[in-house]
């Protein structure tokens, strides 16, 4: 096995006294783990930061063996870690990919969405802008892993207009007219997830509540649920930013 590609660092764990196992999301080959000799060294620690883009080279004798991995920095997002909300967002976005995606299966849309979300965190003028991108990233990841929501039409009436809720059981949209009498049992569907565009903090909060319900119910269960602590830290920091 020999693979050379650019990739996003999503997870790093200690291995032995000086090495690390890094999980990188590649555009065409999915989530790829590899052993980095000296990964905890002063030279490589700033490279193996979640959110960074690296040039990665994997080598192994067989497909079942953990590959030896060498990395070179392409794009550093380490300066963003000094900003509490941005740091929490990068931690959650990369940890979600590292935890949820199976190894060696191509998810080019997830890679593009993660890269776009990280770029938004880096360049957007405010947290409100990139928070909306993060909700969309969560929604896409659910869909790519087989737990997508049906936001195309009202599950009760078939209408495509004025969709305002989502059923927490079926994951299907519900129109305002059909859902208003049962609003306390439904999840609110923020308009930006249908029409795009900007979102205010209330809409973003609704979006996180919506995706969080299905992430916790369908995807991040049992041992995987531990990663949701990073999401809780992010939401707490966004709530402080929103005032």
Q: Do residues 111 and 27 lie in contact, with contact meaning Cβ atoms separated by under 8 Å?
A: yes
Across the chain, what does the average pLDDT equal? 95
**Segment 64-106, tens digit of pLDDT:** 789 999 999 999 999 999 999 999 999 999 999 999 999 999 9
Cα separation, 16 vs 202, in Å, equals 46
**What's the confidence (pLDDT) of residue 48?**
97
DSSP 45: T
**H or E element in which residue 174 lies:** strand 173-175
The tokens 């969309």 sit on which residue?
136
Q: Which distant-in-sequence residues (6+ apart) come within 8 Å of 55 by Cβ?
A: 4, 5, 6, 71, 72, 73, 74
Any idea what the Cα angle at residue 53 is, between residues 58 and 211, rounded to 5°? 105
User: Per-residue pLDDT for 24 more than 90?
Assistant: yes
Span 46-62, mean pLDDT?
95
**Segment 114-153, tens digit of pLDDT:** 999 999 999 988 899 999 999 999 999 999 999 999 999 9
Cα separation, 223 vs 181, in Å, equals 37
Of 120, 48, 95, the closest CA to residue 231 belongs to 95
Structure tokens that stand for 133 in this block:
């991108």
pTM of the complete model: 0.94
**What's the confidence (pLDDT) of residue 151?**
97
Span 12-27, mean pLDDT?
93
Question: What percent of the chain shows pLDDT beyond 90?
Answer: 91
Question: What percent of the chain shows pLDDT beyond 70?
Answer: 100
Confidence band of 1 (pLDDT split at 50, 70, 90): confident
Cα separation, 106 vs 29, in Å, equals 5
**Segment 165-192, tens digit of pLDDT:** 999 999 999 999 999 999 999 999 999 9
Q: Which distant-in-sequence residues (6+ apart) come within 8 Å of 222 by Cβ?
A: none
């Amino acid at each position: 096995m020999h693979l050379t590609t650019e990739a996003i660092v999503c997870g790093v764990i200690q291995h032995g006294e000086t090495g690390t196992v890094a999980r990188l999301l590649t555009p065409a080959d999915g989530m790829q783990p590899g052993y980095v000799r000296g990964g905890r060294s002063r030279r490589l620690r700033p490279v193996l930061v979640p959110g960074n883009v690296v040039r990665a080279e994997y080598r192994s004798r067989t497909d079942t063996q953990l590959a030896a991995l060498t990395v070179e920095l392409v794009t550093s997002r380490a300066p963003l870690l000094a900003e509490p909300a941005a740091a929490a967002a990068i931690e959650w976005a990369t940890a979600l990919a590292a935890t949820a995606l199976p190894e060696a299966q191509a998810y080019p849309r997830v890679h593009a969405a993660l890269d776009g979300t990280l770029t938004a965190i880096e360049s957007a003028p405010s947290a409100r802008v990139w928070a909306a991108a993060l909700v969309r990233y969560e929604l896409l990841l659910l869909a790519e892993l087989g737990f997508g929501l049906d936001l195309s039409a009202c599950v009760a009436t078939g209408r495509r207009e004025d969709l305002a809720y989502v059923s927490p059981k079926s994951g299907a949209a519900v129109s305002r007219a059909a859902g208003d009498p049962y609003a306390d049992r439904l999840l609110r569907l923020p308009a930006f997830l249908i029409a795009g565009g900007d979102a205010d903090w209330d809409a973003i909060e609704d979006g996180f509540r919506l995706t969080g319900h299905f992430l916790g119910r369908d995807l991040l269960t049992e041992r995987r649920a531990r990663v949701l602590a990073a999401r809780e830290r992010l939401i707490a920091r966004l709530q402080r930013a929103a005032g």
